C-alpha cells in the first residue's frame, strides 16, 4: 500500500524488549489517534527493534510538539529514538547526475506531478549537458567539473551546495563518479545511488554488451545507500525483468534504463516515507 493521504508517520527504534509495540500503540490510543498502517520488526541477530506507524488524529488541532513531549517519558524507558513526520512534509533533496538523463527525467516528472513528496533544491553535475532540463523546471543547476587532481575541491563545492540548500537527501541519478571515503562518510544514510544489476556481475565498460555475449536472461537495477564499497551499500530496492535471445544489446540497455528509473523512484519513495531503517550495515524496509 502507499501512504494514506493526510496521515502522520511515527517511526522509532530501540533495543529489543517486551512491550515495545504496546508502548507505541497504547499511547496512540490514549491520544485518540487511529492507526491506518503498522509495521514492526524485531531482529534476533542485532537485537534491535524498529516500528513504523501511519495514523490520523480523530480530533482537529493535532499538537505535534505536545505529542512528542508526552511520549518522551515512555520512550525513555525503552531507550527509544523516535520521529514524527507531518502529512504535508516534503523532504529537501539535491540530485546529482552526469550525462544520462533518464533517471533525472523520471524523478522530475514524479516531482512535478506530486508523486514524490520531495522539494528539489538543486541539481549538481560534472557536465553541462543537462542544464537546459533544469532550467525548464526552474531549478538551480551547478556544473562542477572534476578530474583526479580536483576531486577534493569539487567535493567541497558539492558539500557546500548540500549544506546551503538544507538538503536532507542526495540522489545519485546516474552520477558516474566515485565519491571519496570522506564524502561517503559525510552522506552515510542520506544518499541513494542506482546502478544496473546483472547476473553474473558484469563490471567495467559496456556491461550490457558483456551480458549479451553471455546470453543473459535477467536484467535489473539496484538502489542503495552509498558507502565506501563501490556499489555495495545497504540495499533499499531492486528491480528485475526477464529477457531472451531476441534482446540485442541496445534492447537490454533500454530495458535496463526503465528498470533503473522505477527502482530509483521506489527507493526515494521508501526513504522519504520513512520506510527504511539501517540496522548494523543492512536495511529493514517496510515496502509499500
> Which sign does the torsion angle of CA 191, 196, 200, 204 carry?
negative
Active-site choice (101, 231, 251, 258): 231
Q: What are the counts of helices (DSSP H) followed by strands (DSSP E) for the chain?
A: 8, 13
Task: Tell me the C-alpha distance between 230 and 178, whole Å.
Answer: 7
Residue at grid coordinates 538551480: 140
- Whether 156 is catalytic is no
Task: Tell me the C-alpha distance between 58 and 43, whole Å.
Answer: 33
> Is 133 exposed, middle or buried (CB count within 10 Å of its CB: 0-12, 13-18, 19+)?
middle
Residue at grid coordinates 533533496: 93
The answer to whether 247 and 207 have CB atoms below 8 angstroms apart is no
**Which residues have a catalytic role annotated?**
231
Amino acid at each position: 500500500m502507499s501512504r494514506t493521504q493526510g496521515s502522520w508517520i511515527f517511526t522509532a527504534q530501540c533495543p529489543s524488549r517486551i512491550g515495545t509495540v504496546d508502548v507505541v500503540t497504547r499511547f496512540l490510543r490514549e491520544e485518540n489517534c487511529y492507526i491506518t498502517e503498522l509495521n514492526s520488526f524485531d531482529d534476533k541477530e542485532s537485537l534491535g527493534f524498529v516500528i513504523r506507524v501511519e495514523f490520523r488524529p480523530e480530533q482537529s488541532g493535532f499538537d505535534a510538539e505536545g505529542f512528542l513531549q508526552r511520549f518522551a517519558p515512555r520512550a525513555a524507558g525503552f531507550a527509544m529514538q523516535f520521529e514524527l513526520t507531518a502529512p504535508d512534509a516534503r523532504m529537501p533533496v539535491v540530485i546529482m547526475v552526469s550525462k544520462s538523463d533518464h533517471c533525472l527525467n523520471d524523478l522530475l516528472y514524479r516531482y512535478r506531478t506530486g508523486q514524490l513528496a520531495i522539494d528539489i533544491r538543486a541539481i549538481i553535475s560534472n557536465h553541462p549537458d543537462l542544464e537546459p532540463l533544469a532550467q525548464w523546471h526552474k531549478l538551480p543547476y551547478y556544473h562542477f567539473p572534476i578530474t583526479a587532481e580536483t576531486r577534493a575541491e569539487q567535493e567541497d563545492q558539492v558539500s557546500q551546495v548540500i549544506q546551503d540548500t538544507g538538503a536532507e537527501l542526495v540522489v545519485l541519478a546516474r552520477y558516474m563518479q566515485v565519491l571519496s571515503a570522506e564524502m561517503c562518510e559525510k552522506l552515510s544514510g542520506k544518499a541513494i545511488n542506482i546502478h544496473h544489476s546483472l547476473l553474473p556481475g558484469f563490471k567495467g565498460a559496456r556491461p550490457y554488451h558483456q551480458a549479451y555475449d553471455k546470453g543473459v536472461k535477467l536484467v535489473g537495477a539496484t538502489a542503495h545507500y552509498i558507502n565506501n564499497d563501490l556499489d555495495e551499500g545497504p540495499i533499499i530496492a531492486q528491480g528485475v525483468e526477464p529477457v531472451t535471445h531476441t534482446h540485442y544489446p541496445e534492447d537490454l540497455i533500454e530495458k535496463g534504463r526503465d528498470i533503473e528509473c522505477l527502482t530509483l523512484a521506489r527507493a526515494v519513495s521508501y526513504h522519504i516515507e520513512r520506510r527504511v531503517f539501517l540496522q548494523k550495515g543492512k536495511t529493514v524496509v517496510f515496502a509499500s
